[in-house]
Amino acid sequence: AVVGTSYWMAPELCTKTPYGPKVDIWALGIMEMLEGEPPYFDQSPDKARHVIATRGTPKLQDPRQWSALLHDYLNCCLEVEVDGRWSAEELLQHPFLTSVKPLSSLALLIAAAKE
């Protein structure tokens, strides 16, 4: 049985093929945090599953506003072929995550935003 919400499903779930933990990597990669809603949200759940299964990796609405590093990270998460999709361990080593400043660097920004 297929379990999950259509808009966040990996292609292998939509095509009812065997799947493993990398279905969650695809779900991580879906661009809701960047764009405010998941790809294909204007479609019915059935149509969204069909589009995911047939069109592969969704595209950002305005890709120019995002860094090349973010694009590469998303491509690693949203690889249609499961064998090419990165694992959680691999993603933790991706420069998009390893090159960020520590959380403590946000303290000044948060304080400024509160003023």
Asked, for residue 71, whether it belongs to a domain, the answer is yes
Name the pLDDT band for 108 (thresholds 50, 70, 90): confident
Asked, for residue 1, whether it belongs to a domain, the answer is no
Task: Tell me whether residue 24 is exposed, middle or buried, using C-beta atoms within 10 angstroms of its C-beta: 0 to 12, 13 to 18, 19 or more.
Answer: middle
Q: What is the pLDDT of residues 50-68, one digit of tens each?
A: 999 999 889 899 999 999 9
Mean pLDDT value across residues 94-109? 90
Rounded to two decimals, the pTM is 0.82
Q: What is the pLDDT of residues 6-59, one digit of tens each?
A: 888 999 988 888 999 999 999 877 788 899 898 999 999 899 989 999 998 898
14, 55 contact by CB (below 8 A): no
Asked, for residue 35, whether it belongs to a domain, the answer is yes
Query: The domain that contains 44 carries what CATH number?
Result: 1.10.510.10
Q: Which domain holds residue 82?
A: 6-114
Q: How many domains is the chain built from?
A: 1
Asked, for residue 14, whether it belongs to a domain, the answer is yes
